[in-house]
Structures are given as structure tokens and as C-alpha cells.
Structure 1
Amino acid sequence: MKRLALIFALIAAPLWAVEPSEMLADPVLEKRARDLSAGLRCPICQNESIDESNASLSKELRIIVRERLVAGDSDQDIINYLVARYGEYILLTPTVTGANWILWLAAPGLLIVALGVGWTTIRRKPEATDPTLSDDEQAALDKILRS
């Protein structure tokens, strides 16, 4: 029973990331803040959004997002501010521009290459071999079969 409670607590841990003291009174602004936070990467946790992360830097980033929303910034202004401050790494879904094209096209390109290699390997005809045994091999086989 204790293990089950621990498992449920660990599963629900990301829900505790946004503390009640951080939440905005205006539900519309809070929803915008949660939507923005869900698309921003925690610089410490790497593949967690700042909305899910319990790291102190994520908390600070959530507060910055909410402060800028209250100040009247648009969603894009907030994203531009954080990208200017932390680099494009802060975005969970990077933009498809410039050098990122290489990253976006590398996986499908490698998949196509792997499929081509697999296809040619499967379609390659085996080399013709002589199915008959030499006299020495036939004698050894007969000896094995007799014993």
C-alpha cells in the first residue's frame, strides 16, 4: 500500500510544479501563462517544460512569464524575450529556420538512407554456390550418419 501511494505521488509530482503563490488571479492570463510555460524548456531538467519542473530556475522563469503577461506583453514578446536571454534552446519545439533545417531534416534523411540500405540488403540475391559435397565431405557425412 505504501508503494502504491509513493508511485501515485511520483506520478503526480509534475502537477505540484506550479505553486499556488505563482498563479494569477485572472483565469485568462493564468491559462495563457500555463500554455506558454508548457512550450518552454527547463534549462536544468532539459526535456521538461518549466510548467512541469520543480527546479528553482523554472520557478523564476514561470514568475517572469506571469510578470510580463501582467505588464501586457504578447505571447510572442515573452517568447522573444526568453529566447534572447537563454537562446533557442529554451523552446521545446525549435523554429524551422537557418541551421535548424539540418536538425529537422537529418532524422527523415537518415530514415530514408536506412530504408534504402535495408531494401538493397534484402533484395540482394545470394551468390550461387555448388550444392554438391566434395568426396571428403561426403565421406565425413557418411561416417557421421553411420555412427
Structure 2
Amino acid sequence: MLRTTFSSARVCNVAARRFASVQAISKASIADLDQRWEHMSAAEQESLVAKLTERQTLPWKELSADEQKAAWYISYGAWGPRRPVLAKGEGAYIFKGVILGLGIACGAFAWIRQYGGEDVKSMNKEWQLKSDEYLKSKNANPWGGYSQVQSK
């Protein structure tokens, strides 16, 4: 009984010394971190991550609000692979471009159909009837049908 009391007191004493050695991070180094993070050098980023990792060994309530925000941003923020693919406003720009492209394509199709000239000679009814007779003479695909006439 006495042994467990001393060992638990020793553990608490070690934890208290460890927590006391962790110093708070200056507000200037973590202020506006979401805007500065990607422009910081790799050494600065690693240093800040190491300091925050040490501070996070403390109970969460003992961290300042800025430290909590910085820890959250580094872990889950929109930087690196989590950065959005499109910036604000680019979606509307792409949508307008797609609509414009579809409009141009549909206009070109209508213009070619209107002023393109004669139809292809294999699209007329006589050509399709002759193709049908030829396929009957060759016994082509009797299960799926060989009728080439597309209009009734």
C-alpha cells in the first residue's frame, strides 16, 4: 500500500515537471497561421510543429485558443493535399466556358446540317433497300436481323 502511494506520487511529480518544462508558444508565431503556413520555410514549419506537439502533451484546456486553432489548422486545415482544387469564383468561370463551348458546338452542328449540302448517298432509302437485299442473299446474321432500312 505504501509502495503504491510513493510510486503514484513519483509519477505525478514526473508529470508535473514535464508539464512545467513545456513553455507557451508566442502569439506572434501562431497568429494568422492559415495565411502564413504555406509561405513559411520547412524548418520553421517543423519547429512550430515540434513546439505544438510538446504543448499538446498538456491537457487540452491548458492550451490557449490560438494554440488550439494552430494545432487544428496544421492537422486538418486546407493546405497541401487538402487545398481546394478550385479557388472561389473559378467554378462559375468554368461553367460559363462549358456553356459557351456547348453553344458553339450546337450552332456549328445546326449550321452544317442546314447548309452542308446533300445527304450521304448511303443514307437514302434505295441504298438501304439494296443493302438489305444483298444481306438476305448472303444469309447475314439471321438471328439479329439484317434489315438496314431505318425509316418506315
Q: Same fold (TM over 0.5)?
A: no
The normalised TM-score by structure 1 is 0.29
Q: Hey, which of these two has a bigger chunk of helix by percent?
A: 2
Report which of the two structures shows the higher radius of gyration computed on alpha carbons. Answer: 2
Scaled by the length of structure 2, what TM-score is found?
0.28
